[in-house]
Amino acid sequence: MVDTLFIGLSLGSILLLVALGLTITYGAMGVINMAHGEMVMIGAYTTVLSGIYLGANLLVAMPIAFVISAGLGWAIEKVLVRRLYGRLIDTLLATWGVALVLQQAVRLEFGLSFLGIHVEGLGPGLQNVDVPDFLRGTITILGTEVNGYRAFIILVTVVMTAVTWLIMNRTPIGMQVRAVMRNRSMAAACGIDVARVNALTFAYGSGLAGIAGVMMSGFKTVFPDMGAPMVVDGFMVVVVGGVGSLLGAVAASGLLGEINGLVAAVTNDILARAVVFGTVIVVIVLMPRGLFSFKGR
Amino acid sequence: MLKLSGVDSYYDRSHVLHDFSLEVPDHGILAVLGRNGVGKTTAMKTIMGLTDRATGSITLDDVDLSQATTHERARAGIGYVPQGREIFPDFSIRENILMGCFARPDGVRRIPDLVPHLFPYLQDNLDRPGGVLSGGQQQQLAIARALATDPKVLLLDEPCEGIQPSIVEEIENIILEINKKHGIAVVLVEQNVEFARRACDRFVIVEKGHVAASGTPEDLTREVVHTYLSV
C-alpha cells in the first residue's frame, strides 16, 4: 500500500512541476501555453545530450535543462506571446504552433535516422537515459522498500516547490508577480514593469518544466512528442487546483497523481486515466473556480 | 507641472476624450469636475496610460510622457489612487503600501514617513489583510500606497465616493495636508462642489469628453455649477 501511494506521489510530483509553471503563467499573464509540454521534452533531450557530450549524469543535467528551457521560454515570450496579451484563444493557437515547430525541429534533428541525420550515440528517435547508480536501488521508508529514483523525484519536487513558494511570497519580484496576477493595471500604476515580470515568469515556468523533463527522462522513453500529454495533465491540475494558486497546484497534483496511482494498481492504466478525468469533471462542476482560488474567473 | 494638451483617448474604437487639455498648478490642487460619465475617470486613466490608445501631449515638468508605459509614468512621479481604490485584498496592509515603492527610482522599500502621522490606524495594523478594512480605511490605504511612490503629483479619483460621512471630512483633511504641508500637487476628481471650491487652486469642468470650463475657485459660480454640474 505504501508503495502504491509512493508511486502516486511521484507521478503527482512530475505533474506538479509542470503545473506550477502553467498556473503561474496562466494566472499572471492570461496565456494558455500549449508549448509548455515541449519544455518538458526539451528538458529530457537536454539530459540525453548532456549525457552524450558532457558525460554528465542526471543531476548535472538538471541546472543545464533549467537554463536551456527557461531561455527558450523567455525567447518565446519576447518574440510571440507578448504580442498576444489579452487574446486568450490566440495564445492557445499560437503556442500550439510553437509546440508543433519544436516537436518537428527535434524530430528532424535527433529523431529520423532514415534521413541520415544522426547524432553519435543517439538511437533512431527514442532515447533512454541511465539513472545514476546511487539512485537505482531501493530505500526503506515506513518499513516498505521503495524505488530510490521515485524518492529522488519527490525530493526534487519538494525543493523546487519550496523555492517557488519562497520566491513568490518572500521576495520583491514574487510580490510583483502576485500583484500582476491580481490586478495588472494597478500593478503597473504602482511602478511594476509588467512586461518584464511577464517575461521572467514565463522563463521561470518553462525552466521548471525543463526540470520535470529531466526527471521524466529517468523512467520514460525520450521522444519528440513526449511533452504533448503533459500539457493536458498540467492544465487539469491548474483548473482543479484553482488558477494562480500554488497551494491548489500542490493539492490537485497530489490528488490526481494518487488517484492515478491507486486505480492503476488495483485495475489498469486505462481505467485510472478515466477515473482521473471523471474526478476533474466532478471538481469543475462542483467548484468551477477550483479547490483554492483567490479570484473568480 | 503636469500638463495635458490636445489629448484624444480611446477604449477600443470608442473615442472618449476629445482635444482634452489641462494644467496642474505647481504644488497646487486642480479639481476635475463634471457629471457622471463625462470622461473624468478616463482622463485619469489616460494620464496613467491605462486606456487602449491616446494621442496628444502629456508632460510632467516638461518631460514628455505621452509615449511612456504606465510603470514609467508611475516612476516619473505620478501617484494614482483609482476610483474604487483597487487595493489588493489578500495582501497585508504593509504589502499594499510597499507596492507603491516599486515606482521609486531609488529602489528604497519602506513605509513612507507620512504614514504613521496621517494614517495611524494603518500603521498599527500593518500585518492585517487589506480586504478587512472599511471603505474609508481602504481609501486611506490606497492614498498611502500612492504616497509610497514618492509622487510629484497625486491623482485622486473621487476619493470620498462611497465613504461614510463621518470619515469624509477626515479624508478631505488628509488631502489638504498632503498638498499644503508636503507640497505634493493633486488632481482631484470630485462630485462635491463645496469641497472642490474650498480645496482647489484651479478647476476644470469636463463635459462630453472635453474641457468645457475652467478657472479659479471664484469662477465656480452658481451659474457655472447650474450649467455644467446640476443634474
**Nearest-by-CA chain B residue for A186:** B86
CA dist B226 and B200 (Å) reads 19
Range of the domain at B77: 2-86+152-228
Provide mean pLDDT across the span B132-160. 95
Q: How far is CA A77 from CA A39, A63, A205, A242, in A?
A: 13, 21, 11, 23
- Look at the block and give the residue holding cell 544522426: A118
- Bridge partner list, B210: B207
Provide mean pLDDT across the span B9-18. 94
* C-alpha B46 chain-centroid distance: 12
**Nearest-by-CA chain B residue for A190:** B100
- What is the number of other CB atoms lying within 10 angstroms of the CB of residue B28? 19
Q: What is the mean pLDDT of chain A?
A: 87
Decide if pLDDT at A116 tops 70. no
Residue B40 belongs to a domain: yes
Query: Chain A contacts of B95, Cβ < 8 Å?
Result: 175
CB contact under 8 A, A172 and B82: no
Q: How far is B212 from chain A (nearest CA, A)?
A: 28
Residue B94 belongs to a domain: no
Residue B72 sits in a domain whose CATH number is 3.40.50.300
Pairing of strands B53-60, B2-11: antiparallel
| H and E: helices and strands count for chain B | 9, 10
CA dist B130 and A214 (Å) reads 41
Taking only residues 8 to 67 of chain B, the set having a beta carbon closer than 8 angstroms to any beta carbon of chain A reads 48-50
Provide mean pLDDT across the span A242-260. 90
Q: How far is CA B71 from CA A23, A131, B34, B231, in A?
A: 25, 48, 28, 37
Question: Strand, coil or helix: what is A26?
Answer: helix
Decide if B83 touches A, using CB distance below 8 A: no
Pairing of strands B202-207, B210-215: antiparallel
Question: Strand, coil or helix: what is A12?
Answer: helix
| Domain total in chain B | 1
Decide if pLDDT at B209 tops 90. yes
Task: Give the closest residue to B213 by CA, choosing from B229, B199, B189.
Answer: B229
**Which of A287-296, B27-36, B107-116 shows the highest mean pLDDT?**
B27-36
Decide if A247 touches B, using CB distance below 8 A: no
CA dist A177 and A174 (Å) reads 5
Provide mean pLDDT across the span A222-244. 89
Residue B71 belongs to a domain: yes
Q: How far is CA A14 from CA A9, A203, A231, A268, in A?
A: 9, 18, 12, 20
| Residue type for position A151 | A
Residue B176 belongs to a domain: yes
CA dist B184 and B152 (Å) reads 6
Q: What is the pLDDT of residue A114?
A: 44
CB contact under 8 A, B103 and A179: no
B168-181 pLDDT tens trace: 999 999 999 999 99
CB contact under 8 A, A185 and B99: no
